[in-house]
Amino acid sequence: MKILANDGISQNGIAALEKSGFEISTTTVAQEQLVNYINEHKIDALLVRSATKVRKDLIDACPTLKLIGRGGVGMDNIDVDYAKEKGLHVINTPAASSESVAELVFGHLFGGVRFLYDANRNMPLEGDSNFKGLKKSYSKGTELRGKTIGIFGFGNIGQATAKLAIGAGMKVMYCDPEVDQTSLELSFFDGQKVTFNLKNTQKEDLLQQADYISLHIPGQDNYVLGASEFANMKKGVGIVNAARGGVLDEVALIEALENGTVAFAGLDVYESEPKPEIKILMHSSISLSPHIGAATLEAQERIGLELAEQIISLLK
Catalytic machinery residues: 244, 273, 291
Enumerate residues 6+ apart whose C-beta is below 8 A from 92. 69, 70, 71, 72, 73, 75
**DSSP classification of residue 32:** G
Q: How far apart are CA 89 and CA 143, in angstroms?
A: 46
CA dist 214 to 28, 48, 225, Å? 32, 26, 11
Q: Exposure of 17 by Cβ count < 10 A (0-12 exposed, 13-18 middle, 19+ buried)?
A: buried
> Per-residue DSSP letters for 238-305?
EEEE-S-TTSB-HHHHHHHHHTTSEEEEEESS-TTTTS--HHHHH-TTEEE--S-TT-SHHHHHHHHH
Q: How far apart are CA 35 and CA 56, in angstroms?
A: 12
H/E stretch holding 68 reads: strand 67-70
